[in-house]
Structure 1
């Protein structure tokens, strides 16, 4: 926003403040192993704590590291398979919902669907631009 000198744009500020609500829609092609960005940085330590500890030798670490990576790979394969072969449950019937169900992975679609259904709580108002401006 600073690069384009848009810090004073109220609409963009509000949109940025609620970025958690819409940002995943634009990252649907990126697989995050079931983790969001904050969880990723915090969970790497937890992930390795399942396989190694302070007393682990270097040789054991290499073996356990390989097991950890293989487990992560298998988990990703399983999630990919489930995401591609499970059907999304549609409740609104809109074109947007149908398109999202086709292009999204299950996890992302669920979050998107929650946001889409919550839109019905908002009112719409047509705003016309004044010709003198």
Structure 2
């Protein structure tokens, strides 16, 4: 698959499913995961917790030394493709936070639930259509709740939270609100103002790392080293810290992408069955 993607889908980025990677880790290094061993948790740290590549390399060397696995061929192979599973490498990629095949596995499990060897092609498609209708019904239900329910604000006086609560679908709003909570753990370490360009360093307390930001006031654009927006399409706590520091009261429109808003599906094509579902008495 990896070789085919390189040749055929040049714009695609091939990553490894982190759940399957952990299972392979247990399979190849099961002897290190027994008893009071912390090998799996230390391996997960290498996967998720390091902010930059230098920190990862240091953590990886400590892992190999601590458990005396420098000569392990599976770990050597996994290290050569670290850009496919390590967070500080994957943050350069537009992943929307997806790190596993959970979404496709869930669909597969749903289809397998009504499959059996005795189904003819007609019965299969009838059951398949019913399965798809249930998925679409759930989407409509989520849309209804997003438009009718008011998201709970942790800080009801925040102009930025008020803005995004009206725009974002609930699940994305709560992720954004988590970033807003983290911004209170950040402070501006240094700032160099040469309008229209502003460069600054944002540090998170409790040794959670730092982030470098560059703002262009003329273009109303922001570049930041954590790459939260590039990978997930929502602004990070570092950006919010600078925004508050600069007395910015709202998020620029081009940083509020439609895909996360309550109107994300407003221009999607309608299937003939959707009209029936929209008049469903349960939704009413």
Cα distance in 2, alignment partners of residues 36 and 87 from structure 1: 30
Helix, strand or coil at the partner of 1:80 = helix
By how many angstroms is 1:126 displaced? 3.3
Partner of 1:114: 178
Cα distance in 2, alignment partners of residues 38 and 114 from structure 1: 24
Question: Residues 110 and 41 of structure 1: is their aligned pair in 2 closer, same or farther, counting only changes over 3 Å?
Answer: same
Output one character per residue of 1:8-64: Cα deviation in whole Å (capped at 9) or x when no partner: xx7xx96963879xx57xxxxxxxxxx998432222201212332344322211110
Partner of 1:124: 188
Helix, strand or coil at the partner of 1:126 = strand
Partner of 1:51: 114
Q: Pick the structure with greater CA Rg.
A: 2
Over the residues paired in the alignment, what is the CA RMSD in angstroms? 3.3
Output one character per residue of 1:56-92: Cα deviation in whole Å (capped at 9) or x when no partner: 3222111101110111111111111011111011122
Calculate the TM-score normalised by the size of structure 1. 0.64
By how many angstroms is 1:122 displaced? 1.5
Q: Report which of the two has the higher share of helix.
A: 1
Partner of 1:67: 130
Cα distance in 2, alignment partners of residues 103 and 94 from structure 1: 15
Gaps of 5+ in 2: 1-51, 53-86, 195-284
Question: Residues 103 and 40 of structure 1: is their aligned pair in 2 closer, same or farther, counting only changes over 3 Å?
Answer: same
Partner of 1:76: 139
Partner of 2:245: none
Choose the corresponding residue for 1:85, options 145, 148, 158. 148
Cα distance in 2, alignment partners of residues 47 and 18 from structure 1: 32
Question: Comparing both chains, which one has the higher relative contact order based on Cα–Cα distances under 8 Å and sequence gaps of 6 or more?
Answer: 1
Cα distance in 2, alignment partners of residues 113 and 15 from structure 1: 25
The aligned length equals 108
Question: Residues 94 and 121 of structure 1: is their aligned pair in 2 closer, same or farther, counting only changes over 3 Å?
Answer: same
Calculate the TM-score normalised by the size of structure 2. 0.33
Helix, strand or coil at the partner of 2:190 = coil
Cα distance in 1, alignment partners of residues 89 and 162 from structure 2: 24
Cα distance in 1, alignment partners of residues 188 and 89 from structure 2: 17
Helix, strand or coil at the partner of 2:184 = helix
Cα distance in 2, alignment partners of residues 36 and 14 from structure 1: 13
